[in-house]
Amino acid sequence: MSVNQNLLVVGMSHRTAGVPLLERLALSPGELPGVLAELVGLQYVDEAVVLSTCNRVEIYAAVTAFHGGLADIGGVLAQRAGLAVADLAPQLYVHYEVDAVRHAFRVAAGLDSMVVGEAQILGQLRDAYGTAGEQGTAGRLLHELLQQALRVGKRVHAETEIDRAGQSVVSAALAYGQGATSPIEGRPALVIGAGAMGALSLATLRRAGAAPLYVTNRSHARAERLAELHGAEAVAFAELPSLLERVDVVVSATASPEPVLDAPLLAGAVGAQGHLLVLDLALPRDVAPAVRELAGVTLVDIELLSESLSATADAEERAGEEIVAGEVEAFLTWLRGADVAPTVAALRARADEVVEVELRRLAQRCPELGDEARAEVSRSIHRIVQRLLHQPTVRVRQLAAAPGGEAYAQALRELFDLQIPTSEINPVAAGEVHP
């Protein structure tokens, strides 16, 4: 572990960048291990978790310096986007220390989502954290941050009605698309992709009454498993052209780097059906932009959805924000308490050393003392020292848990000349390091 560690979040979302740029930064599951290894191999980055969804790409990191960490991470993102760092910077957001904690908790709670309150982000964040854990790129700070973020996200959903309508990107896109078409109840629908978004799409379509339901995927076995769970029919990916002629609604959510659906393919389907609702929920996009020009096609993609959704705050959002604010303070209190522990341990160790030195001197000066007498003296001295230290150590823990409390632990270290490895003192909690 490096000398100092600070929490840093660098990323972009639908709020700061357009879909074309998000597409260039989007990472498939297979790419994550390589990017994580690249990040923690940089000079200022000790830990890293990468979250890549249909409307955000962001890096959570434990860094040894703000400017150095930002430059390292910005360089990785700029290289992936094919842009100079200076050109990419205006599209990025940066959260440091306390703001990084707050951002992580808001993301987990769905408060920063395109569809406020959507619960899918919890699963995506859990997967990102799991991948970092498997790759060994999440250490003490990020383990604690992500574990608490997931807990906070669950708490917001459990204690508020922020997701009372079961809103998700899928249901929001479906609602938007139905504004231009007839209701989908009783209409045949197809889902392309058997990942988490594909599963959510099938569940949403089934609740909306679409029938029959079809699912296709390049891995037919995965499509079959998903179909069995949601009462759908799995169709071989090679049969996609003919399948498109039998459905009125298509939801595409694959991890393909290239479009899965193009204008010629869908033009034939439109000719047979008369009208087709296409929801493109993938990043990069699954549907070629030219499809939007086809007569009889309504295409709803992430870019259009982002423009249509407003971020109005209602009572449930405010309740969620209040929970997050309290949890952020609780997290910081935990960090401050955790970080005074090495100081308390060092003080007790110093006291034990002094006692042992004096007991050895006593043995040399009073060799006539028997083993039993020496043992009783040792117990008495240790009890006295522990009683003397008890109140100060309890009090310093209490004081350190309050804002600005690191000053008390620092004073204790200076008064007793305690040498604590800097790696055990977290500047995020102490508030000692600022950009």
Backbone angles phi, psi at 208, to 5 degrees: -80, -5
Q: Do 213 and 232 contact (CB within 8 A), yes or no?
A: yes
How many Cβ atoms are within 10 Å of 133's Cβ, its own excluded? 14
Q: Do 256 and 278 contact (CB within 8 A), yes or no?
A: no
Place of tokens 């508020």: 160
Q: How far apart are CA 388 and CA 392, in angstroms?
A: 8
Peptide bond into 284 cis (omega under 30): yes
Q: Do 216 and 242 contact (CB within 8 A), yes or no?
A: no
Catalytic machinery residues: 54
DSSP 338-358: HHHHHHHHHHHHHHHHHHHHH
How many Cβ atoms are within 10 Å of 435's Cβ, its own excluded? 12
Nearest to 272 by CA among 240, 237, 247: 247
Nearest to 152 by CA among 318, 323, 333: 323
Q: How far apart are CA 429 and CA 412, in angstroms?
A: 17
Q: Do 10 and 94 contact (CB within 8 A), yes or no?
A: yes
Q: How far apart are CA 409 and CA 386, in angstroms?
A: 18
Q: How far apart are CA 381 and CA 303, in angstroms?
A: 72
Q: Do 427 and 65 contact (CB within 8 A), yes or no?
A: no
Q: Do 396 and 345 contact (CB within 8 A), yes or no?
A: no
Nearest to 140 by CA among 302, 2, 316, 323: 2
Q: How far apart are CA 404 and CA 412, in angstroms?
A: 14
First to last CA, the chain: 21
Backbone angles phi, psi at 4, to 5 degrees: -120, 145
